[in-house]
Amino acid sequence: MVNPYDKANELAQVLKESSEFSELKNLHDQVNQDEVAKRMLDNFRNVQLELQQKQMQGEQITEEEIQQAQQQFELVQQHEVISKLMEAEQRMSQLITDINKAITQPLEELYGAGE
């Protein structure tokens, strides 16, 4: 019987060697080596984070804040490398989500059925 931990480590290794991961890493490095791009992305992420925290704490988010976030999003979208990085992050995030679904599927079956 194969040890689940061994198989998980194999998967981790495959992920690390995947095109999805190396694209993400390349774009991440490119942004980090470009001071302007890095500041732009950091600003965007900080604003996103602040809004998320407000939302979680049930605080009101103003029209103005939503507009500002939207404008910042459009700004970073126009930066080619940042926009590509965000797309690569989306693909990686989807990949992790799909992997988690595959892993937890037997549990979902167990807990979804026969209740």
- Contact footprint for its own copies (CB under 8 A): 1-5, 7-12, 14-21, 24-25, 28-29, 32, 58, 92, 95-96, 98-100, 102-107, 110-111, 114-115
Q: Does 90 bind Ca ion (CB under 5 A)?
A: no
83 makes contact, choosing from Ca ion, its own copies, none, with CB < 5 to 8 Å by partner type, with Ca ion
Q: Does 83 bind Ca ion (CB under 5 A)?
A: yes
Q: Does 55 bind Ca ion (CB under 5 A)?
A: no
d(CA 52, CA 71): 17
Nearer to Ca ion among residue 65 and residue 87 (C-beta)? 87
| Cβ partners under 8 Å of residue 44, min gap 6 | 72, 73, 75, 76
Which uninterrupted H or E stretch holds 67? helix 63-78
**DSSP state for residue 113 in the 8-state scheme:** S
- Say how many C-beta atoms besides its own lie within 10 A of residue 27's C-beta: 19
d(CA 32, CA 26): 10
36 makes contact, choosing from Ca ion, its own copies, none, with CB < 5 to 8 Å by partner type, with none
Is 41:112 a contact under the CB 8 Å cutoff?
A: no
To its own copies, the closest distance from the beta carbon of 63 in angstroms equals 25
Judged by CB under 5 A, the number of residues near Ca ion is: 1
Q: Does 33 bind Ca ion (CB under 5 A)?
A: no
